[in-house]
Amino acid sequence: MMLLTFVVLLTAAVPSALASGTTGTSDSKKLVLGTSADFAPYEFHKVINGKDEIVGFDIAIAKEIAADLGVELVIEDMGFDGLLPALQSGRVDIVISGMTPTEDRKKSIDFSDTYYKSKQVIMVRNEDKDKYPTMAKLENEKIGAQKGSIQETIGQKIPGAKLTSLDKISDIVLQLQTKRINAAIVEDTVAAGYLDDMIGLAPAVPDEEQVAAAIGIRKGNTELLNAVNGTLERLKSENKIEQMVTEASQLMADREVKSPNIFEVFWQYKSFYATGVGYTLLLSALGVIFGVIIGLIICLFRMHDTAILRWIGTAYVEVIRGTPMLVQLMIIYYGLALTFGITFSPLQAGILTLSINSGAYLAEIFRAGIQGVDRGQLEAARSLGMGRAAAMRFIILPQAFKAVLPAIGNEFVTIIKESSIISVIGMVDIMYQASVVKNITYQGMNPFLIAAAIYFVLTFILSKLLGRLERKLSASDRR
């Protein structure tokens, strides 16, 4: 509870690039939109007047809905398969991401009237166009599709197909370019943005009829559902949706023909990476600080004479170390909201996850350090009249801390790198910004090489600073 309180207080004043969802409509000042902004021309990142913006005809529709409601539109970008949990947990008010209102999805959320229809196509490398004249030729082939999408369902029906499902369309295209898959199932409207000298369309076309897109809304929110349908009806009557599609397609097609090198990419998008560095350092620093507190408490539990405390400490370490950090993040970010109504922002969820995870490893580091101090020192302190707590505080822990400082520094370095996992819930750290730059530039390597260089610089500087601190603390040992 103390950790939760500290995290909430420390992050309350931090400007979050992605707001958490609201629960109201007309009573709220904001309408929070959940989307996966890699689905051009529905929604995608675009640098306009030097500023990164999420644009597309889905976004244009969302702006019309917000205007009709008289509220501010807040856009939350996340993976496509995270949209339904975000809507169900109340993090977002509506989902607009070219989503098809399937029967399975209708069991979880409500859908508005459909606003756009498209057909499915097979995207391949141009050299392989003639290999797939029909869908039957795709049997037993390596195929890519967006995770949680209708395209994934189509791929699952192809006999013997080895399906690769990923969050981002751009990642699927990269898989196609690098020959990890031989075909990708996408919407025709989306495929248009990726066709070039290397990527084209196969003659094979899925048998499914045109797929409709609709807006997702939480179950039972009839007031918002009626408002959204009212806006869609108005836009259809004014023929504005087709106009929005045309404008978004033109904006999607308006991209640089010249492919900038890695230095040009870094300089042009340096502000993106600077923002990512700030959030990465904030996540890592608070994660380690709270992790040290948790680790020390759990360590003392594990070494306590009371059996129940030892059991609690041991159970904590084993459970946290035995489960992936990504699973822990999903439980904290989505699970608590869905089960108990406890909602954390991406920043708060990230700090909690890193702290809890780091605490388990630091507990074992501290335990090794304390056990490394000669037991006779504790006995000597007690014989001089010091209580157990005072002896631990003034005699044992200072020596143990100095002994385990290299291990603590290594944990800090690890946390900086592992903080990249938090990008999956929309935290604008270095990894998230690298993905944004990749989607803008259509380059699969340079944005991530830049991110790798930044991570290396951060960890290298930190290692040197910790080395100086270690030498300073050990200076007295050489006297």
**C-alpha separations of 15 from 77, 272, 426 in Å:** 16, 15, 14
Do 109 and 128 share a domain, yes or no?
A: no
Verify that 165 and 297 share a domain, yes or no. no
- The whole-number pLDDT of residue 359 equals 93
Residues of the chain with pLDDT under 50: 15-27, 257, 479
Residue 6 maps to a domain: no
Rounded to 5 degrees, what are φ and ψ at 446? -55, -45
Tell me 210's DSSP state: P
The predicted pLDDT at position 27 comes to 44
Tell me the residue type at 201.
L
In three state form, how does the secondary structure of 58-106 look?
A: HHHHHHHHHHHHCCEEEEEECCHHHHHHHHHCCCCCEECCCCCCCHHHH
- Residue 100 falls within a domain, yes or no? yes
The reply to whether 297 falls in a domain is yes
The pair phi, psi for residue 233, each rounded to 5°, is -60, -40
Looking at residue 14, its pLDDT comes to 53
Strand order through the sheet with 216-217: 72-77, 30-35, 94-95, 216-217, 110-111
CB atoms within 10 A of CB 261: 10
Are residue 232 and residue 186 in the same domain, yes or no?
A: no
CB atoms within 10 A of CB 53: 13
Question: What confidence score (pLDDT) does residue 22 get?
Answer: 38
Per-residue confidence (pLDDT) for residue 16, from 0 to 100: 43
| CA dihedral angle for residue 18, residue 75, residue 35, residue 329, rounded to 10 degrees | 10
Structure tokens at 43: 């929604």
Q: What is the pLDDT of residue 19?
A: 37
- Look up the CATH number of the domain holding residue 362: 1.10.3720.10
Does residue 151 belong to any structural domain of this protein?
yes
276 and 425 part of one domain: yes
**Rounded (5°) CA angle 146-148-153:** 85
**Statement to judge: residues 272 and 145 lie in one domain:** no
Sort strands 142-146 and 110-111 into parallel, antiparallel or unpaired. unpaired
Looking at the fold, whether 186 and 199 belong to one and the same domain comes out as yes
Q: 201 and 228, same structural domain?
A: no
Judgement on whether residues 251 and 228 belong to the same structural domain of the protein: yes
CATH number for 61 = 3.40.190.10
- Which residue's structure tokens are 């057909």? 119
- Whether 370 and 314 map to the same domain: the answer is yes
The one-letter amino acid code at 221 reads N
State whether 303 and 401 are in the same domain: yes
Same-domain check for residues 126 and 54: no
Dihedral angle over CA of 371, 377, 379, 385, nearest 10: -130
Q: Which domain holds residue 90?
A: 16-115+212-255
Which of 255, 288, 321 is a domain's end point?
Answer: 255
174 domain residue, yes or no:
yes
Q: How many CA atoms lie within 13 A of 107 on its CB side?
A: 2
109 inside domain: yes
DSSP assignment letter at 420: G
Number of domains in the chain: 3
Asked if residue 41 has a cis previous peptide bond (ω within 30° of 0), the answer is yes
CA–CA dist 105, 109 (Å, integer): 6
Cβ-based burial of 448 (10 A; exposed 0-12, middle 13-18, buried ≥19): middle
Together in a domain, 351 and 405: yes
Grouping H, G, I as helix, E, B as strand and the rest as coil, residue 285 is helix
| Contact by Cβ (8 Å): 98, 210 | no
For residues 291, 293, 295, 299, the Cα torsion angle rounded to the nearest 10 degrees is 180
Q: Which of 200, 394, 370 is nearest to 300 (CA)?
A: 370
On whether residue 438 sits in a domain, the answer given is yes
What separation in angstroms does the CA of 212 have from each of 112, 116, 118, 120?
A: 11, 6, 7, 11
In this predicted structure, what is the pLDDT of residue 12? 52
Q: Assess if residue 5 is contained within a domain.
A: no
Residue 268's closest CA among 97, 51, 76? 51
Name the domain boundary from 255, 286, 316.
255
CA distances in angstroms from 18 to 97, 109, 296, 366, listed in the order given: 17, 22, 33, 36
